[in-house]
Amino acid sequence: MSMPPPPPQSHDPYAAVPAAPPVAPVAPVDPDGSSAHAAWPPPPPPARGSRIGLVLGIVGGAVAVLAAGVAAFVVLGGDSDAAYPDAAYRLTLPPKLLDGAYELERDYSDRSDGAFARDAERTLGGRDVETAVATYTPVNRGGQLSISGLYGRFKDPDGARDTMLERAAGAEGTELAVPPRDFRPSGSDTTVTCQLLARKDLGARRVYPQCAWNDGNTGVMVLVVDPAVTGEDPDDVDLEASAELTLRVRDEMRRPIR
């Protein structure tokens, strides 16, 4: 007797750090009673001979519960359209990122029935929002790159960026090892905010740099899982280098609307 196909899988762009997913599917409930997120897919097999492989599963094993106490920038019904910038840029998910160092592993952009975009419009001060959510894997080594992106029109780019990072840091099982810091790498006109997240895996504490930008049209959180970094002392992690990497991701994802 053949088994029915599994249901479509989803990915929570606000969740933070890779880990094994819950045993049973979990659907966090928003304060308004709606279920915004679905279950996560199982992680891939761990890397042979490496315990760090156990945490290199799909980003989103930690559940980001959108509780009423989370700071949010609520879109009020009376907002004027003039408060929002024109839509001049969009996001793409190229097959490779960072000059070919990472390959697209999985695209989750169309797997949420619009729930992520609606949530962003309601809580991040956005209009006409679309999503670009994916995971990338390095070509020649272990690790993972998580892209949690939104594009549209955001009336408070700094607030939207900070709220996305706050949600990620508040995910279940995740702690904030280094609080958010703003960077403006040389030659850039965009502020990148980075923080360091931590989780415990098999009794060991692992750290993960996460950075985000929002320029009024595009907003992305970039989380890097690098076996060479995850075991480092938080004080030794170079967040400025993570900010520079994030700007490279922005250059390769962001495209003008023609």
Q: Which residues, 6+ apart, have CB-to-CB distance to 189 below 8 Å?
A: none
Per-residue burial over 160-173, b = 16 or more CB atoms within 10 Å of its CB, e = otherwise? bbbbbbbbbbbbee
Query: What's the pLDDT tens digit per position in 135-185?
Result: 999 998 889 999 999 999 999 999 999 999 999 999 888 999 999 999 997
pLDDT at 102 over 70: yes
CATH 1.20.1070 fits 51-74+86-256, yes or no: no
Query: What's the pLDDT tens digit per position in 112-129?
Result: 667 888 888 888 999 999
Angle at alpha carbon of residue 246, lines to 240 and 250, rounded to 5°? 145
| Residue matched to tokens 């703003």 | 182
Taking the complete model, does pTM exceed 0.75, yes or no?
no
Q: Per-domain residue ranges for the chain?
A: 51-74+86-256
Closest C-alpha to 131, from 151, 111, 104: 151
> What whole-number distance in Å separates Cα of residue 83 and Cα of residue 227?
43
- Residue 112 has a pLDDT of 66
Q: What is the largest CA-CA distance in the chain?
A: 62
- For the chain, the C-alpha Rg in angstroms (whole number) is 18
Burial class (CB in 10 A: 0-12, 13-18, 19+), 110: exposed
Beta bridge partners of 176: 197
> What whole-number distance in Å separates Cα of residue 7 and Cα of residue 9?
6
Query: What's the pLDDT tens digit per position in 38-67?
Result: 222 223 333 333 332 223 232 333 223 222
Backbone angles phi, psi at 158, to 5 degrees: -65, -45
